[in-house]
Structure 1
Amino acid sequence: MRYLITLMPILFSAVVFGSPLKIKLSDQSVIYTDTDTLLREFETETFETQLPWFEDVRQFTGIPVAKIVERYGNQNTFAVTFSALNDYSATTTIEDINNFDPIIAISINNQPIRVRHKGPYWMVFNLDKYPEINNTTYHSQMVWQIDEIVIYSHNNDE
């Protein structure tokens, strides 16, 4: 029993940080990644904002969507779709990604986001920095429990 208690944090961290994320590219190829890999490959950004689902301001840390598009998209990328575990999905234009700097949040208030709390990946806009997008159009794009990202490009040309 003592060993099981000792192993619980290790097993929990593997579940949280090993959560798979599928990134589908415009040429239909697929990249599978996870939180550990994302943290090794990308710098994170942190901001504080109040979202309509919380009564107070929260700190979000994650990977800038623009950096994911920069790495896996091309000059013809025009939109990105975020799909959730429950099959909800929303598409964000490249203009909104470039203008409003959303992130794929992996932690809230320095804690990994668990599935029961909208994790492990949540596309978040900084509504305090960009109050003009604090409306239902942009709220509906903040997909949580993301398990797939699809990057769309015109003509599939590199």
Structure 2
Amino acid sequence: MNPMLSATALLLMTLMPAAAVEMALPTGAEILEVNGSITNSNADGKAIFDLNMLDALPQRVTKATTPWYTGEHEFSGVIISDLLDYLGASGENVTFTALNDYASEIPMAELEDMPVILATRVDGEELSVRDKGPLFVIYPFDLDSTLYNEVIFGRSVWQVASVTVH
């Protein structure tokens, strides 16, 4: 093959957007809806997830003391930046909305810069609605003690039901 043609083809391939991901529909209870500026979806422009679908994405454990629980606990769940990458998300901000309609906006750059998780479990047990579940935004308090502040606490939404990328 002509080297110039190969270089041009390679350049064009790197400039093309990533191919859409074929997303399955949830088979269990739906616990999260993601909408807004995403390219991959499974339900009319939005992505709906059950627990198994979220568990299939890259996970992290954050072992930390937080203002919401007594003592140190292990929070585990999907890394939000990986979830957003999977969905082909683009935008400046991401809004997390709780079951009670409390909402908090987090800059996309912040989510890309640190492993913030959407926790599905605390100490290995699934989070129930009664215990701030089914999903809870947890910052990597174990990596950076300066995150222990009121701004971050306000962004740490519990009982997350939906996410909007804008």
Pick the TM interval, shorter chain.
0.7 to 0.9
How many percent of aligned residue pairs carry the same amino acid?
A: 22
- 1:33 equivalent among 36, 45, 49: 49
Matching residue of 1:118: 132
For the pair 1:23 / 2:34, whether they are aligned, the reply is: yes
Secondary structure in 2 matching 1:77: coil
Show the 5 A alignment for 1:3-152. Answer: 18-26=29-37, 29-40=45-56, 42-74=57-89, 76-152=90-166
Q: Residue 137 of structure 2 contacts residue 158 of structure 2 at CA under 8 Å; is this kept in 1? A: yes
* Structure 2, gaps ≥5 residues long: 1-27, 39-43
Does the Cα contact within 8 Å between 1:106 and 1:122 map onto a contact in 2? yes
Distance 1:19 1:29 in 2: 16
Q: Which runs of 5+ in 1 are unaligned?
A: 1-16, 153-158
**Cα distance in 2 for residues equivalent to 1:30 and 1:99:** 25
Query: RMSD across aligned C-alpha pairs, in angstroms?
Result: 1.6
TM-score (norm 1): 0.79
Q: Relative contact order (C-alpha < 8 Å, sep 6+): which is higher?
A: 1
Distance 1:19 1:49 in 2: 28
1:44–1:63 CA contact under 8 A, matched in 2: yes
The alpha-carbon deviation at position 31 of structure 1 amounts to 1.2
SS at 2:37 equivalent: coil
**Normalized against structure 2, the TM-score is what?**
0.75
User: Is the deviation greater in 45-54 or in 25-34?
Assistant: 25-34
Query: Normalized per residue, which structure has more helix?
Result: 1
Count of paired positions: 134
| Residues 139 and 156, structure 2, Cα contact 8 Å, conserved in 1 | yes
Q: 1:148: Cα distance to partner? A: 0.2
Structure 1 stretches of 4+ moved >3 Å = none
Give the distance between the partners of 1:122 and 1:64, measured in 2 at CA. 12
